[in-house]
Chains A and B, each alone.
Chain A
């Protein structure tokens, strides 16, 4: 009768049931651990049962060092020093970890496919992208596995050339399946790399100082390491097996700690391995740092939004409008619009106001909401202002942005006050919409009276809706990228 499978963590029990030779080899392994002062913990896992034997000695893949020098010569020409990583990292510091600075994307899982070369490549690429573009992305290793030609589930080498030439799809659009498939050539690939290189093209393993300097200059690095059963069984501590086995695995180097004399690495075996997917590995251990590479991500692309923004609704009022004076909570104005499909909508209220009756100082709160009752407004749209002098005119501005499904919507502009009467000068309430995200979270919106009716912006991308004359449904579109103070342009 077959005995039940021993629970994963019941290693001691498993050991009692193991064959004599297994127990003997385990004893030898523990003796080795004691003799070599291993400072990491291992479980009696299946990995510890087995020895690793390798058929071949250490041979760099096909003249890679020669190619590395050529690659680095080219990299010098294309590298953009102005886009080097941030000043938060100092190579002479006792420790540094890009995880603490938003430069490391979450741990992934390569599954049973030997695609670590793709994960190591993307780990460095996503790190550079996060540092340079201040946005974490989830690029597609499957895209690289299927299309780069740099390897397959039986292994490979760095695939940065593919990210430079072609770019990468987003994981959501090209999900990982752990099986190499036919390339989806038509996939959208919004993420690209500008240039990549080896940390030191003249040696297989750069020095500790060179690796630290490259980490600071470029962000997380793609490096190779020799995986052994002990590496596989690592649970915590500083891994210091110091095996001389050949490199066989790619990982992402993300930081260091001199007090541990160790590198911090991100693996691609899910968060169940090691320290939530990470490991401390002693400097020089298991050939860590072999073939170390850096990559520089290209600037974030403006999203493809061919149809541009549409002015959905607009209302305005002018100085002297006696209906725009309020002594209690009220709706200043409203706009109603219909979306024929899901769109990203920006609502902007903008005016100046004064104390019509009463004595400053006075204060007010303004905001937006879809309900008509004056007593409620979106928290995110809430803005406060105050009058300090009788002659003062202050800006009353609020904005709100949301992704909305198809439907008809009414947005009300609210004013909250008490104990005095507020009077409005000219003002506008504008609803602008685009049919696609602009690449990140919509951060702000502006409007102004006159020709410019609405601006939507996210990060460095801005889209502008401009009135072609009197406000109507016809708008002229201008787009800018990387400009925070752009003037509207007509097409």
Chain B
């Protein structure tokens, strides 16, 4: 079992993993702006979102931001399209200001 790290530069990539591996997505986010990365509903069971947490950056500045960390556990063979939108919870979905997506292929 291993962890595969994915960041903003991996946008659009396909990530090949094995059952039992974990895909960790790390994306810049700033909770002080009201914007968060929001995953679309899952369209498969190949990998399951186990954890989504916001890790605030070091320091004490107001508005300093942090990182959104999402952990997907590969559960069974197949494919999962991961799509995330950077948006405010109260805004309509189409008003997202950022998009991120990868394909998790579990073998």
> Contact residues of A with B, CB < 8 Å?
1-3, 5-8, 14, 17-22, 43, 45-56, 58-61, 110-117, 120, 151, 153-157, 224, 227-229, 232-233, 235, 245-250, 269, 272-273
Contact = CB atoms under 8 A, between A and B. Distances in A.
B62 A116 contact: yes
B97 interface: yes
A248 B63 contact: yes
9 pairs of A and B residues whose beta carbons are closest in the complex: A45-B89, A155-B61, A114-B63, A46-B38, A155-B64, A269-B34, A54-B56, A155-B63, A116-B63
B41 A8 contact: no
A248 B31 CA distance: 8
Interface in B39-53: 39-43, 48-53
Interface string B65-81: 11010000000000001
A55 B56 contact: yes
A232 B41 contact: no
A50 B64 contact: no
Contact of A227 (B32, B50, B97): B32
A250 B39 CA distance: 27
Contact of A52 (B40, B43, B56): B56
Given A2-B40, A45-B89, A154-B64, A113 B33 contact: yes
Contacts of B53: 50-53
A21 B92 contact: no
Contacts of A48: 89
Contacts of B61: 61, 117, 151, 154-157
B62 A156 contact: yes
B68 A250 contact: no
27 contacts: A2-B81, A2-B83, A6-B41, A19-B49, A45-B89, A45-B90, A47-B36, A50-B68, A51-B53, A53-B56, A55-B57, A56-B60, A58-B60, A110-B63, A111-B33, A112-B35, A113-B63, A114-B64, A116-B63, A117-B63, A151-B61, A153-B63, A155-B63, A233-B89, A245-B56, A247-B62, A273-B34
Contacts of B54: 50-53, 229
A245 B30 CA distance: 15
A110 B63 CA distance: 10
Contacts of A19: 42, 48-50
B62 A273 contact: no
B74 to A, nearest CB: 14
Contacts of A46: 36-39, 87, 89
A246 B97 CA distance: 26
Contact of B93 (A3, A5, A61, A248): A5
Interface of B: 30-43, 48-66, 68, 81, 83, 85-93, 97-98
Contact of A61 (B57, B59, B68): B59
A51 B66 CA distance: 13
A3 B88 CA distance: 20
Given A22-B49, A120-B62, A155-B64, A227 B31 contact: yes
A43 B92 CA distance: 14
B55 A248 contact: no
Given A50-B36, A112-B35, A248-B64, A21 B50 contact: yes
Contact of A247 (B40, B41, B60): B60
A151 B60 CA distance: 12
A155 B56 CA distance: 12
B33 A269 contact: yes
* Residue with the highest number of chain A CB atoms closer than 10 Å, among B42, B59, B97, B98: B59
Contacts of A246: 56, 60
